Amino acid sequence: MSRFEIGTDDFLLDGRPHRVLSGSLHYFRIHPGHWRDRIVAARDLGLNTIELYIAWNEHAPTRGEWITDGALDLAAFIDLIHEEGMHAIVRPGPYICAEWDNGGLPAWLFTDPEVGVRRFEPRYMAAVEEYLERVYEIVRPRQIHNGGPVVLVQIENEYGAYGSDKDYLRRLVEVTRAAGIEVPLTTIDQPTHQMLQDGSLPELHKTGSFGSRSVERLATLRQHQPTGPLMCAEFWNGWFDHWGAHHHTTSAEASARDLDELLATGASVNLYMVHGGTNFGMTSGANDKGVYQPTVTSYDYDAPVDEAGRPTEKYLAFQRVFAKYNGRSAEETQAALKRTIAAMGDPASRMAPTTSVVATASRPLWSSFDFDGASETERPRTFDELGHYRGFLATRATLTGGDGQAVLTVGEVRDRVYVFLDGAPVGVMARDHHDVSVVLPRATGELLLLVEDQGRVNYGERIGEHKGVQGDIRIDDIVVTGWRTAPLDLDALFGDDSVLDEGSAIAGPVAGPAVVTYDFDIADAQNLFLDTSRWGKGVAALNGFPLGRYWRRGPQTTLFVPGPAVRAGRNRLIVLEQESMADSTLRFAADLQLGHTDF
């Protein structure tokens, strides 16, 4: 069997110098029907390795649960990498950031307010060790010396940007080695002296994360890594987007120039990302550095392979750069180039079918909540108290004040609250606007709050925070009590396959919150682009597959619909519209519409 080691100056594959040319693919952001296609695209780009994060909260949405089938079949994904003749780098965290909900840490971990976060604390470590042991059961037999593709395993993730607990890092190493992981272990940090010092251990191989000024940053890394191969383990060739901001892009020419500069030093590289994919469902994370900024559904990342899996101009530019360094024959390089040009093709041939369909049915969202089954509490329960860690909940109470105007106030909004009085909309309190109050027309009647989790913070000190309305709810100075709080079961809502009354078809505007259903036929199962430009804010699913969130705020105005989720024949799209649709017609666009850019 092969061996992969760290030498004095190089990575060594079976004793010979080897350069790692890698690209990031997140299996949990790609429909499994597209896994092989994306791996092959990375290989044709000129890469020899796939890097992958593991999202703990996806595999273990509740304590004790461990899901490894379907879209979370980690073993199958790594085996596909091997089948396509590539190596793999595994980054299990436990924290991954990745603009992913809670940075990949499960929300249930923090229901105990005393639990630690990314440090050597007994309750946190017990859960982490249980998780890592399960991960390594999958990874261990797939290491390169066991005949598999795995050549490197990373410890934690950019830890120097968060903490400096060396006992924590040492325990992660002990657990990893005890589980039978024998390949070299790495860490990654931005190349500053403080982060490189705090984020690693002497026995771990340090790598850097950056997107430009490679010579300077590798020099800093070399000061902390006197021997062994230099590696940029996250070469940032694009960026992610927030709702309400612009779509980030970088010049293909400039990015290729930066990549060439990096590879000319002799360093190894991992592109972050080679293909970004999609934050399907309610999986996107958020940042909060004084202002809460939730991440959009598209994780296109302006990567060489776009959200729909197609090569871009950046792909072509990178392919030419990698051809100078990957040691492939001229024939192999030319064949890959021809496949790329053919895949890019005539722009007209890349367009998806467009169509428009009126809604089959619409109903108020409130019927999806079981208030009668909810116990009465002094204050509204939070998402975390309910063990309901994503999506929506609703809470209601009866007000018995006067008929004059009153002010409703809360302690903190996490993350968006729609306020209704006797069924009529009153206002919205939004975390990103720092809202904590709204004016009620009167202080009597049924007060109903629809609360949305817009994504848990994935970076910084607010990791692990709870979701929902925080603190007391007051009408003027009086605390409101007697609440019934119910979660929304999105899986059940999106899995509805009941026969609908054909006579209930609607067209035109829709007032939310509402559940809008569309039944339509399509000739061939293929990628589609759902046009949300005339809708308000909500989340959609096709044939039970969760496509993700949309919002008129943009920048994106399409949702990517992966072909394997589409049926040849009858399909059902279910949309939860939180606000209002100016036009409820279902439309598919010809291509991705990811929004305006900054140049």
Residues identified as active-site? 158, 234
Q: Which residues, in sequence order, are CB contacts of 122 under 8 Å at separation 6+?
A: none
Q: How far apart are CA 286 and CA 284, in angstroms?
A: 7
In b/e form, how buried is each residue of 384-420, taking b as 16+ CB within 10 angstroms? bbeebbbbbbbbbbebeeeeeebebbbeebbbbbbbb
In angstroms, the Cα distances linking 428 to 9, 50, 185, 419, 439 are: 58, 44, 48, 6, 10
Rg (CA), the chain: 25
| Distance separating alpha carbons of residues 167 and 99, to the nearest angstrom | 27
Sorted by sequence, the CB contacts under 8 Å of residue 12 that are 6+ apart come out as: 3, 4, 5, 6, 18
What backbone torsions phi and psi does residue 377 show, to the nearest 5 degrees? Answer: -130, 160
HEC sequence for 97-140: CCCEHHHHCCHHHHCCCCCCCCCCCHHHHHHHHHHHHHHHHHHH
Q: Say if residues 475 and 399 touch (Cβ distance below 8 Å).
A: yes
| First-last CA distance in the chain | 51
Tokens 């100075």 sit on residue:
477
Give the ranges where 326-418 is alpha helix by DSSP (H): 330-344, 383-386
C-alpha to C-alpha distance for 559 and 539, rounded to whole angstroms: 10
CA distance 397 to 447: 5
d(CA 274, CA 256): 13
